[in-house]
Structure 1
Amino acid sequence: MRGLLVLALWLWGLGAVAAPRDSLESKLETGDVVLHTSRSRQSQAIQAATHSSLSHVGLVEVTPKGVFVVEAVQPVQRIPFAKWRARGVNGHIMVLRPENLDAATKQRVLSAAKKHLGKPYDWKFGWGDDAMYCSELVRKAYIEGAGQEYGAMEKLGSLDVAGLQQQMRERYGAQVPLDLELVTPASLARDLRLIQIHSDFPEGC
């Protein structure tokens, strides 16, 4: 009887070890759009201008060796998802998934994003390809790889930059280009074609 009990406990333990972990990482798919609150110097300005906690965004790549995020920082890079998530304030994250796109299309999107690896970060939020900012990388990758334009292009002057004059002058000089068109992480998050599959942000982020 004791031997049967030991065997049962051993089998239970084996099953517990073998069971897959129910984690967010295991649910991610290539092409998912991930957003968090960055700890970068400019994060507070982005949050103020967009009335959103979402100040940084990247693209997920799922591989046999693990899950990664392609992101435009200094420079554009590819890092493990766990490291990317840990960089966000309080570890909060939002995950969005484009609807009605197959795996092959999303892989083309990732390939389009990875073409920009190593490029410098675009501090002036221009639309050229010599440098990239985070939401520009995501939008351009989906345009090239899937023919989809996620997020809306907005003029800098249409954002709430009234209290950011000093930051704007430091970035652009005396002539702030208020007609500059850019895409923000918050704009991507508002696109209803990107389905929210996870968020641990408080309501109203």
Structure 2
Amino acid sequence: MKKPKYLFPLITFLLSFGCALFVAMKVFPNNPFSQTKTKQETTLANKIQDGDIIFQTSESKQCEAVRIATNSKFSHCGLIYKINGELFVFEAVQPVKLTPLSDWINHGKDRKFVVKRLKDADKVLNEATLQKMKDYSQRFMGKEYDAYFEWSDTRIYCSELVWKIYKNGANIELSKLKQLKDFNLTDERVKKILKERYGNDIPLEEKVVAPSDLVDSDLLKTIIDTY
């Protein structure tokens, strides 16, 4: 039987297209051809809502000191926002920024995290309130991380950022503020960090809110816990 005239060119084209598609999917993971979400990403997108708070364990020396001083496994937190259908964490690092949720999770110890939500979020966090929170968040975008834990807006740290956004955007105090002296400052690792930060002039009366204060808030309920 005589083979069709265009059979071999067609096969060559299909093989070339297949190879190109494979390369595109491997080299360019965000290529439109590979827009399939992982099972975890799909689950998170279904469970998480605008305004949820996420907590994790970080591994720097300062974060270790935070965990010890607060008697908690949590040393970092952020506020989850849905923007154009994608999930981001608004966090106070250096500088304050929006981080894709998947990247944020990857930065934590063993990729473990906890997501919390206001118990009455369906009533309180309406569209107008969430927009007010996001508008208020803009004032912190790009600001420096506050390694001195001062209660000012000049620089800001993670739990302070979340607390202030809820307070000023939704008129909700997630927890009572403490003073630096209320935490466990006797451990040698904590003392070392305090010495590096403040010398001999430790601001023991400074107002402080820790990730542990937020994660233990009576106003919040657990949505996801991967620990």
TM bin, normalised by shorter chain, reads 0.7 to 0.9
Q: 1:103: how far off?
A: 2.8
Partners of 2:56 and 2:87 in 1: CA distance: 17
| Residue among 167, 181, 187 paired with 1:157 | 181
Scaled by the length of structure 2, what TM-score is found? Answer: 0.76
Q: 1:70: how far off?
A: 0.4
SS in 2 for 1:82: helix
Distance 1:25 1:90, change over 3 A: farther
Partners of 1:79 and 1:26 in 2: CA distance: 19
Partners of 1:65 and 1:19 in 2: CA distance: 13
SS in 2 for 1:69: strand
Q: Is 2:100 the partner of 1:74?
A: no
SS in 2 for 1:96: strand
Q: Is 2:124 the partner of 1:98?
A: no
Q: Is 2:219 the partner of 1:193?
A: yes
| Residue among 184, 201, 209 paired with 1:183 | 209
Partner of 2:67: 47
Partner of 1:170: 196
SS in 1 for 2:222: strand
SS in 2 for 1:42: helix
Instruction: Determine if contact 1:30/1:103 at 8 Å carries over to the other structure.
Output: no
Partner of 2:165: 141
Instruction: Determine if contact 1:70/1:114 at 8 Å carries over to the other structure.
Output: no
Gap runs ≥5 in structure 2: 1-35
Deviations 1:66-124 (A, max 9, x none): 11010000110101000001101011111011132233212322322232010000111
Which protein has the larger Cα radius of gyration, Structure 1 or Structure 2? 2
Q: Which moved more, 1:69-78 or 1:59-68?
A: 59-68
Partner of 2:104: 84
Distance 1:196 1:142, change over 3 A: same
Partners of 1:42 and 1:33 in 2: CA distance: 21
Scaled by the length of structure 1, what TM-score is found? Answer: 0.84
Moved segments of 4+, more than 3 Å:
18-22
Distance 1:42 1:19, change over 3 A: closer
Deviations 1:8-28 (A, max 9, x none): xxxxxxxxxx99955123321
Instruction: Determine if contact 1:62/1:68 at 8 Å carries over to the other structure.
Output: yes
Partners of 2:161 and 2:96 in 1: CA distance: 9
Query: After the TM superposition, which residues 24-39 of structure 1 pair with which residues of structure 2 at under 5 Å, given as runs?
Result: 24-39=44-59
SS in 1 for 2:156: coil
Partners of 1:47 and 1:170 in 2: CA distance: 17
- How many pairs align? 185
Instruction: Determine if contact 1:98/1:193 at 8 Å carries over to the other structure.
Output: yes
Q: Which moved more, 1:136-145 or 1:57-66?
A: 57-66
- Higher helix content, 1 or 2: 2
Gap runs ≥5 in structure 1: 1-17
